[in-house]
Structure 1
Amino acid sequence: MDNRDLGKRFDEVFQKMDRAYERYARSCGMTYSSLALLQLIWERQPCTQKELCALTMLPKQTINTIVMSFYKQGLLEMLELPEDRRRKSILLSDRGRELAAQILPKISRAESRSIQQFSPEEKETFFRLLERFSAAFCEELNG
């Protein structure tokens, strides 16, 4: 298999997974980006928009649009930071925690059950190769 075929196969695999996340997000009435952000806030709260931008690599405007939408829906609380009143600490509200508790566990279960189909040796090999690929890719692309 030549490099072009490998690249195509790699893209197909990851796009298939991305489409699965996107379909699930849509079934929950969300976009893929908003679902990813909800999960990140759930896992990392309290956090700031700046931290969310750094963790997701989404544009600042996209993060702000989603955060403000969540806030208007009553899913978030935003508290001024004492050291800089212009910045806000973002936390899920009771309603936001309820929503997250309804939809996020399905993702975790799917990821966990998918990896559980591998033997212990396959899991170790899978992660070792994925980490090796990631390190090599980052080095090749960014030096």
Structure 2
Amino acid sequence: MQEQITQQLASLNQNDKILNELYHNYAASVHLSDTAFWIFYIAWTQGDGCTQKELCEAWAYSRQTVNTALKNLEKQGYIKLAFTEGNRKSKQILFTGRGKEFARKIILPLLEAERVSFGLLSEQERNDLILLSQKRTEFLKREIAKTLIAIAGEGKQKKKSE
């Protein structure tokens, strides 16, 4: 059983890596860093006005990584950052005319490719894939948290014995 799970995990992780590589190569082909590409993708799919904080929380990006990419995109004239009404701490990501045109050119064709490929699965397969992916992520989060606690405990024990 253990060996089977190990082989299945290797296959799953390899597929995840291939999927990540597909997006990385797409971003590189349109001359964007991975982070800048995902900012375009997220801002386009969520609509104008998503905030830096929302982007970081929903997509598990560090604020520093996003902030650096946003500043570069702003310098290039693709986006502008504007304070959210009534909140001087939160900034919205807004496309400029140039940014909208660029996003339309690079994101819309990708979204269509995603829709077509996902649509090749049955509705049940799509629902199962989403559910099982979410479940796997939650289980892995829990197990990694346990592992990190155990490692931290071992580190404390080691320091005491030194």
Report the TM range for the smaller structure's normalisation: 0.7 to 0.9
Q: Does 1:36 align with 2:38?
A: yes
Total equivalences in the alignment: 140
- Cα shift at 1:87: 2.9
RMSD value, Cα: 2.0
Closer, same or farther: CA 127–86 of 1 in aligned 2, 3 Å: closer
Name the residue aligned to 2:94. Answer: 91
State the AA in 2 paired with 1:42.
W
Q: What CA distance in whole angstroms lies between the structure 1 residues aligned with 2:4 and 2:117?
A: 29
Q: Which runs of 5+ in 2 are unaligned?
A: 144-162
- Which stretch shows the higher mean deviation, 96-105 or 42-51? 42-51
Q: What CA distance in whole angstroms lies between the structure 1 residues aligned with 2:77 and 2:42?
A: 17
Name the residue aligned to 2:69. Answer: 66
What per-residue deviation string (whole Å, max 9, x for no partner) do you get for residues 65-121 of structure 1?
011111111111222233222432221111110000000012112112212333xxx
Please give the TM-score of this superposition, normalised by the length of structure 1: 0.86
The answer to whether the 8 A contact 1:46-1:89 is kept is yes
Please give the TM-score of this superposition, normalised by the length of structure 2: 0.77
State the AA in 1 paired with 2:77.
G
Q: What CA distance in whole angstroms lies between the structure 2 residues aligned with 1:128 and 1:95?
A: 39
Q: Does 1:128 align with 2:128?
A: yes
Q: Does 1:103 align with 2:106?
A: yes
State the AA in 1 paired with 2:66.
I
Closer, same or farther: CA 103–136 of 1 in aligned 2, 3 Å: closer
Closer, same or farther: CA 7–96 of 1 in aligned 2, 3 Å: same
Q: What CA distance in whole angstroms lies between the structure 1 residues aligned with 2:113 and 2:22?
A: 11
State the AA in 1 paired with 2:84.
L
Structure label with greater radius of gyration? 2
- Cα shift at 1:140: 5.5
Q: What CA distance in whole angstroms lies between the structure 1 residues aligned with 2:115 and 2:86?
A: 40
Q: Counterpart of 1:41 in 2: which secondary structure?
A: helix
- Cα shift at 1:127: 2.6
The answer to whether the 8 A contact 2:118-2:126 is kept is no
The answer to whether the 8 A contact 1:75-1:93 is kept is yes
Name the residue aligned to 1:26. Answer: 28
